[in-house]
Amino acid sequence: MRKSAFLLPAIAVVLVSALSSVFIVDEREKALVLQFGQIVKVQEEPGLGFKLPFIQEVVRYDDRILSRDLMPLEVTPSDDRRLVVDAFARYRIADVVRFREAVGSGGEEAAARRLDSILRAETREVLGSVTSNDILSTDRAALMLRIRNSAITEARALGLEVIDVRLKRTDLPPENLNATYERMKAEREREAADERARGNEAAQRIRAQADRTVVELVSEAERESQIIQGEADAQRNQIFAQAFGRDPEFFEFYRSMTAYQRSLRPGNSTMVLSPDNEFFNYLKSDQGQAASQ
């Protein structure tokens, strides 16, 4: 019993020492072995690592691509119009030793804060050197690349590798937003008024064309009608001339007879006649007036 009572803690101590002298580095991590705060070993490859138990400690850092979103930031491009910009960065802890030396025990959070200020400064500088039209254009990708490239050098001092910097928002500040809305509204109103005016213009043109067509059609018809009537009158005259020309003297007599018949109507005429009239030739004598005289 005494033996086993002694053995038990001994084995426990050995086991604990053995376990504390190995450590596992995950695929997602890099590890530093520190001895009283001093870096003695860097383990970047995943797998099993060894250290002295109790006096050395392991610090692990993320080996994946980390992200950092920048708070919205107001920049003034060279044409003095302000834009609200926010960006995000993708970066990775490339050099753990330098990272540890630069950041100390603050770790990734402290590094992210320092990266923030680097990115803010670079974004301001790069976007401040161009006009706002350049930012709102196809140059944007090139600008992002410029921000990235200058951030890379700055961040290298922190042991960070900046992989990508991208702009998200490039918007007008809220106080300019309303002005923009008003401008958009005014543009739309102009467009609407234009549409209406064009509609009225077209309608008026259509009506005018229709009215003109009406006048053309009617007057053409009237012209045709006059021509036809003229032809008809000519034909009539021709017919009459042909017929009456055969004996003009008789025509005169005949036509006079017809005219008397038509013009002297019962009721509207009173005639004062002398008995000497030819019609009364036989009124006084059967020999006729000429004969009686």
Partner 1 sequence: MSGNSGGPWGGGGNNGSGGGNDDNRGNGGRRPNNDGPNIPEIDDLVNKGREQLRVLMGGGGQGRSGGSGGGGEGPKFTRGTVGLGLLAALVLWLFASFYTVRPEERSVELLLGDFLEVGDPGLNFAPWPVVTREVLAVTTERNIDIGTSRSGLEAGLMLTGDENIVDIDFQVVWNISNPEEYLFNLANPPATIEAVAESAMREIISQSELAPILNRDRGAIADRLSDLIQSTLDSYDSGVNLIRVNFDKADPPEPVIASFRAVQDAEQERDRVQNVADAYANQVVAEARGEAAQILEQAEGYRARVVNEATGEASRFLAVLNEYQQAPEVTRKRLYLETMEGVLGGVEIILLDEGNGEGQGVVPYLPLNELRRNTTGGTN
Residues 90-129, interacting with partner 1 (CB under 8 A): 90
Q: Which of residues 262-291 bind partner 1 (CB under 8 A)?
A: 264-267, 269-276, 279-280
Which residue, 257 or 291, is less far from partner 1 as judged by CB? Answer: 257
Contact in structure between 42 and 96 (CB atoms under 8 Å): yes
Which of these ranges, 98-106, 123-131, 150-158, 160-168, lies near partner 1 under the rule CB under 8 A?
A: 160-168
Q: Can you say how many angstroms the Cα of residue 203 is from the centroid of all Cα atoms in its chain?
A: 27
CA 1 remoteness from chain centre: 91
Q: Which is nearer to partner 1, 39 or 163 (CB)?
A: 163
H or E stretch covering 84: strand 83-93
- H-run or E-run covering 277: none
How many CA atoms are closer than 13 Å to the CA of 283, on its beta-carbon side? 9
d(CA 75, CA 94): 30
- The CB-of-154 to partner 1 minimum distance in angstroms stands at 21
CA–CA dist 39, 33 (Å, integer): 6
What DSSP assignment string belongs to 159-214? TEEEEEEEEEEEE--HHHHHHHHHHHHHHHHHHHHHHHHHHHHHHHHHHHHHHHHH
CB of 210 to partner 1, least distance (A): 3
DSSP 280: G
x/- letters, 220..259, toward partner 1 (CB under 8 A): xxx-xxxxxx-xxx-xxx-xx-xxx-xx--xx-xx--x--
The 167-206 site mask, x for binding partner 1 (CB under 8 A), equals xxxxxx----xx-xx--xx--xx-xxxxxx-xxx-xxx-x
CB of 32 to partner 1, least distance (A): 14
Q: Does 52 bind partner 1 (CB under 8 A)?
A: no
Backbone region of residue 36 per phi and psi (left: phi > 0; alpha: psi in -120 to 50; beta: other values): left
Cβ at position 40, least distance to partner 1 in Å: 20
- Which of 35, 210, 252, 287: binder of partner 1 (CB under 8 A)? 210
Residue with tokens 């036809």: 228
Nearest CA to 167 among 136, 198, 189, 201? 136
**Of residues 130-149, those binding partner 1 (CB under 8 A):** 135-138, 140-141
Q: Closer CB to partner 1, residue 19 or residue 157?
A: 19
Compose the 57-76 pattern: x for residues touching partner 1 by CB under 8 A, - for all others: ---x-xxxxxx-x-------
What does the alpha-carbon distance between residue 146 and residue 78 come to, in Å, rounded to a whole number? Answer: 16
Taking the complex as a whole, the smallest distance from the CB of residue 107 to partner 1 amounts, in Å, to: 10
Considering the complex, what minimum distance in angstroms separates the CB of residue 204 from partner 1?
7
Of 73 and 163, nearer to partner 1 (C-beta) is: 163
Part of the chain binding partner 1 (CB under 8 A), chosen from 27-35, 95-103, 110-118, 149-157: 27-35
Given the complex with partner 1, which of 91 and 95 has the nearer CB atom?
91
Neighbours of 45 (CB within 10 A): 10
Site for partner 1 contains 11 (CB under 8 A): yes
